[in-house]
């Protein structure tokens, strides 16, 4: 099953189920509300029916617009660890974002007026489906609702201003997530072995496989749930492979007007244009 959050008016969204080339609106204000409605969310999503609209005409909102948590992994592919000149981590590197950074699958990426170092990071996204604390690795995948595509677009110079990544990682309207949540039953366990790629104006910049994750999805769920209770709708970004702009010689960064396309095999693609944000 493929689920999304769509804009139905200027200030209202709805959860939706994809059926072929149509979206069926569900009686929940967004995907997060559907996932938190109960542990039977999958039945609710499959059998609820409502207004239909053509997928091609839909305005996609961030997949889960207001997750309780957005947890991101840094340094989780060997190729990216190498290009950033960092040692292989013993423990997952975690950082967070706020929901103000999230945008929809086709929304503009806002390039902040204070930086020219806007960089791409194609990532596999995980959406949590059930509440869990101290989840053992062997059961971890039962807590996943499904998988999505994200780009952890980073303001690289602000990321490196201090030891904490946060300021470079949570700029307003920089992180596309979507176009859909693909439920876990439709993908390989842990969404492993899927091709992940990113292109800027048609030039491929990143291409890798989710099989190369240093800490895999089950391991991430177990680790994070040791720290804090995972809740339905929580979003986890699993890290990016090599090929980011800052890892190139010379470095390359996004310019206004460029189009960033981010793809994960079997899930879909994000297509976002960069616009310069005004002060």
Q: Closest distance between Zn ion and the C-beta of residue 121, in Å?
A: 4
Q: Closest distance between Zn ion and the C-beta of residue 80, in Å?
A: 8
Q: Give the start-end residues of each E strand in 152-267.
A: 154-155, 175-183, 195-200, 203-209, 235-237, 259-264
How far is 155 from 115, CA to CA, in rounded Å? 7
How far is 114 from 77, CA to CA, in rounded Å? 29
CB nearer Zn ion, residue 18 or residue 240: 240
Q: Closest distance between Zn ion and the C-beta of residue 147, in Å?
A: 16
- Rg of the chain on CA atoms, in Å: 18
CB nearer Zn ion, residue 30 or residue 117: 117
CB within 8 Å of 180: residues ≥ 6 apart? 2, 3, 4, 18, 63, 148, 267, 268
- Joined together, the tokens standing for residue 64 give 């889960």
Strand order in the sheet with 268-276: 109-111, 268-276, 259-264, 195-200, 203-209
CB nearer Zn ion, residue 30 or residue 212: 212
CB nearer Zn ion, residue 84 or residue 275: 84
Q: For Zn ion, which stretch binds (CB under 5 A), given 48-56, 135-143, 151-159, 195-203? A: 151-159
Q: For Zn ion, which stretch binds (CB under 5 A), given 86-94, 101-109, 144-152, 226-234? A: 144-152
Residue ranges of alpha helices (H) inside 184-252 are: 217-227
Q: Are 207 and 195 in contact (CB under 8 A)?
A: yes
- Joined together, the tokens standing for residue 32 give 């997060």
Strand partners, 123: 150
Q: Closest distance between Zn ion and the C-beta of residue 240, in Å?
A: 5
CB nearer Zn ion, residue 132 or residue 239: 239
Q: Between 63 and 102, how does the x/- string for binding to Zn ion read (CB under 5 A)? A: ----------------------------------------
Q: Closest distance between Zn ion and the C-beta of residue 72, in Å?
A: 6
Q: Between 99 and 138, how does the x/- string for binding to Zn ion read (CB under 5 A)? A: ----------------------x-----------------
CB nearer Zn ion, residue 16 or residue 260: 260
- Joined together, the tokens standing for residue 17 give 């189920």
User: Residue with the closest Cβ to Zn ion?
Assistant: 152
CB nearer Zn ion, residue 117 or residue 152: 152
Q: Which residue in 98, 105, 122 sits closest to 6, CA to CA?
A: 105
Which DSSP category does 278 fall into? Answer: P
Q: Closest distance between Zn ion and the C-beta of residue 256, in Å?
A: 22
Q: Between 200 and 239, how does the x/- string for binding to Zn ion read (CB under 5 A)? A: ----------------------------------------
152 near Zn ion (CB under 5 A):
yes
How far is 265 from 268, CA to CA, in rounded Å? 7
Separation of CA 10 from chain center? 23
Binding site for Zn ion (CB under 5 A): 121, 152, 240
């Amino acid at each position: 099953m493929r689920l999304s959050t769509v804009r139905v008016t200027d200030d209202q969204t709805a959860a939706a189920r994809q059926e072929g080339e149509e979206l069926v609106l569900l009686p929940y204000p967004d995907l997060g509300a559907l996932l938190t409605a109960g542990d039977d969310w999958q039945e609710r999503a499959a059998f609820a029916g409502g207004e239909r609209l053509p997928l091609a005409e839909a305005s996609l909102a961030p997949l889960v617009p207001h997750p309780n948590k957005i947890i991101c992994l840094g340094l989780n592919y060997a190729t990216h660890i190498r290009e950033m000149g960092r040692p292989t981590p013993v423990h997952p590197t975690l950082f967070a974002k706020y929901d103000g950074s999230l945008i929809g699958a086709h929304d503009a990426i806002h390039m902040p007026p204070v930086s020219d170092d806007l960089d791409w990071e194609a990532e596999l996204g995980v959406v949590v489906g059930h509440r869990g604390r101290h989840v053992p690795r062997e059961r971890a995948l039962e807590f996943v609702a499904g998988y999505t595509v994200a780009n952890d677009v980073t303001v690289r110079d602000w990321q490196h201003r201090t030891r904490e990544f946060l300021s470079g990682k949570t700029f307003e309207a920089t992180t596309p997530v979507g176009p859909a949540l693909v439920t876990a039953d439709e993908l390989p366990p842990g969404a492993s072995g899927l091709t992940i790629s990113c292109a800027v104006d048609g030039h491929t910049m990143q291409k890798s496989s989710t099989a190369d994750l240093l800490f895999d999805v089950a391991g991430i769920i177990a680790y994070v749930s040791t720290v804090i209770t995972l809740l339905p709708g929580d979003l986890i970004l699993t890290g990016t492979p090599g090929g980011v702009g800052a890892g190139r010689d010379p470095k390359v960064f996004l310019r206004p007007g460029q189009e960033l396309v981010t793809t994960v095999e079997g899930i879909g693609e994000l297509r976002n244009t960069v616009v310069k944000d005004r002060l």
